[in-house]
């Protein structure tokens, strides 16, 4: 489902249709945010795994399934784990790639892309920052700042040479770098590693400059990304959280509780009519 809205300002909107999938409490909460969101010159949005949940991609803190049910994602997305046992970590990522490769953006991704493009025509800036590595925001048409890298890219664990060519996701054998023979690994930021500098600086700037910061589908447990909401708050931003199970974060001013795929299309439909 894509957001239901009329493309021409003033055409009106069938409000019941726009809100049809949205919980009642969320409908009221959305209405309270519309004027603030319309007035904001700059908005910063941070997304996490919850926005891709309705595309069929498990979140990080969901219990893992199948072969990996006895592992915790945090223990695998980890530089120390790769150094100790590269085969297991590589196999987990190959499995995740198989899991994600046929997944498509859901209405939340599409609605954000639509809002971002529309905002540009209204002189409003929306910076979209993601912790996700699935690239579904780009597939939906958004411009996005990636804090945690890309699932589909590889790099050498020693010389950091990046590899763009496809690998066979069904093959769990470790690959070696052609230049230095180091093990090839996903080009993803792991626990214990720093974020890409340019992307992090862009995210910090967006958080500092925004009037409204919206955190979507993230447990806000993993820093430094989770600190962006605090940074925005320190610089005077109003903080909104959209989450199926809200986090109780002390910096949040307003919560829209529910599924991203229901809340965001309803919100955007109201905003861009
Ligand atoms: P988490 O798995 O920690 O949190 C997912 C959040 O999404 C939870 O707060 C859920 O309540 C919420 N959620 C689930 N389904 C939802 C839905 N349909 N609509 C809205 N919200 C929903 O994922 P992240 O916060 O993204 O890092 O995790 C942060 C980082 O930790 C990841 O980028 C990854 C991970 O380890 C690395 O790999 C470095």
CATH topology classification for 66-102+151-188: SIR2/SIRT2 'Small Domain' (3.30.1600)
Q: What is the pLDDT of residue 14?
A: 52
Separation CA 96–CA 100 (nearest Å): 6
Q: What is the pLDDT of residue 10?
A: 36
Going by alpha carbons, the residue nearest to atom 36 of ligand 1 is: 74
Going by alpha carbons, the residue nearest to atom 18 of ligand 1 is: 259
Render pLDDT for 113-146 as a digit per residue (tens, 0 to 9). Answer: 999 999 999 999 999 999 999 999 999 999 999 9
CATH code at 24-56+104-148+195-271: 3.40.50.1220
Best residue for ligand 1 mutational test, from 109, 192, 217, 265 (most atoms within 8 Å of Cβ) = 217
101-117: average pLDDT: 97
Q: Enumerate the domain spans of the chain.
A: 24-56+104-148+195-271, 66-102+151-188
- Domains 24-56+104-148+195-271 and 66-102+151-188 in one fold: no
148 included as an active-site residue: yes
Ligand 1 centre distance from Cα of residue 217 (Å): 6
Ligand 1 centre distance from Cα of residue 158 (Å): 29
| Residue 126: closest CA among 107, 139, 146, 145 | 145
What does DSSP say about strands 149-156 and 184-188: parallel, antiparallel, or unpaired?
Answer: antiparallel
Best residue for ligand 1 mutational test, from 52, 218, 240, 260 (most atoms within 8 Å of Cβ) = 218
Catalytic residue (choose from 109, 137, 148, 235): 148
Q: What is the pLDDT of residue 4?
A: 34
Split at pLDDT 50, 70, 90, the class of 11 is very low
Going by alpha carbons, the residue nearest to atom 2 of ligand 1 is: 60
Q: What is the pLDDT of residue 60?
A: 85
Burial code (b: 16+ CB inside 10 Å, e: under 16) for 116-147 equals: bebbeeeebbbbbbbbbbbbbbbebebebbbb
Radius of gyration of the chain (CA): 19
Render pLDDT for 246-257 as a digit per residue (tens, 0 to 9). Answer: 998 999 999 999
Q: What is the pLDDT of residue 8?
A: 33
Render pLDDT for 13-60 as a digit per residue (tens, 0 to 9). Answer: 455 567 878 888 888 999 999 999 999 999 999 999 999 999 999 898
Render pLDDT for 190-231 as a digit per residue (tens, 0 to 9). Answer: 998 999 999 999 999 999 999 999 999 999 999 999 999 999
Q: What is the pLDDT of residue 21?
A: 81
Pick the atom of ligand 1 nearest to 148's CA. 39
pTM of the model: 0.92
Show the tokens assigned to 170.
Answer: 């069904």
Ligand 1 centre distance from Cα of residue 96 (Å): 15
pLDDT higher than threshold 70 for residue 1: no
Split at pLDDT 50, 70, 90, the class of 70 is confident
């Amino acid at each position: 489902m894509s957001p239901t809205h009329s493309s021409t300002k003033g055409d009106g909107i069938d409000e019941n249709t726009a809100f049809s999938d949205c919980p009642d409490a969320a409908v009221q909460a959305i209405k309270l945010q519309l004027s603030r969101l319309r007035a904001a010159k700059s908005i910063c949005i941070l997304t996490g795994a919850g926005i891709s949940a309705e595309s069929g991609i498990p979140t990080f803190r969901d219990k893992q399934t199948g072969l990996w049910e006895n592992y915790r994602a945090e223990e695998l997305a980890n530089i120390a784990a790769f150094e100790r046992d590269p085969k297991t970590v590589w196999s987990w990522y190959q499995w995740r790639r198989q899991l994600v490769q046929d997944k498509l953006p859901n209405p939340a991704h599409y609605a954000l892309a639509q809002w971002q493009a529309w905002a540009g025509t209204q002189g409003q800036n929306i910076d979209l920052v993601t912790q996700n590595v699935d690239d579904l925001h780009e597939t939906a048409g958004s411009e996005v700042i990636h804090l945690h890298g890309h699932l589909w890219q590889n790099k050498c664990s020693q010389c950091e040479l990046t590899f763009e060519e496809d690998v066979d996701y069904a093959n769990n054998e470790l690959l070696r770098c052609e230049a230095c023979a180091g093990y090839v690994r996903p080009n993803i930021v792991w626990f214990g590693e720093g974020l890409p500098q340019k992307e992090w600086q862009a995210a910090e700037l967006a958080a500092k400059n925004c009037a409204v910061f919206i955190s979507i589908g993230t447990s806000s447990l993993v820093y430094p990304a989770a600190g962006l909401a605090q940074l925005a708050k320190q610089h005077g931003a109003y903080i909104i959280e959209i989450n199926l199970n809200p986090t109780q974060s002390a910096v949040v001013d307003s919560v829209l509780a529910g599924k991203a795929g229901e809340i965001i299309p309803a919100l955007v439909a109201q905003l861009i009519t």
